[in-house]
Amino acid sequence: MKHILQTYLEQEIWVLIRDKWYFATVIGVWDDLLWFKHRTYNKDTEEDTLWEMVVKISEVIAIDKVKSVMSRKPDVFIARLLETDAGTSNHPQEHEK
């Protein structure tokens, strides 16, 4: 597991530690320790908090490479959907003649 985690340095992956998934950026892997940062979302304040954690590699159950991530905030989510649609749409824009 240590070798696999080292290949994801400075990359975002999902990490299952004990019984909880973390969306993590791997900062370092040393000896038997994994150092990573992750965010938690507070529904009441709609704010993210950045955490750094160090855990024993033996506590890592699984990892999953991330393909894409969308924001939980509706305005950001809709804006990204519109960007995606504009980039893939073959419909002529209204200002074009």
pLDDT in tens, 25-54: 999 999 999 999 998 888 888 888 899 999
The pLDDT tens digits of the residues spanning 21-31 come to 998 999 999 99
DSSP state of 13: E
| The pLDDT of residue 73 is above 80 | no
- Architecture in CATH for domain 2-67: Roll (2.30)
At residue 43, the pLDDT reads: 83
At residue 97, the pLDDT reads: 45
Exposed, middle or buried, 12 (CB in 10 Å: 0-12/13-18/19+)? middle
What pTM, to 2 d.p., does this model score?
0.63
Enumerate the domain spans of the chain: 2-67
| 3-class DSSP assignment, residue 81 | helix
Among candidate residues 52, 5, 63, the one with its CA nearest the CA of residue 31: 5
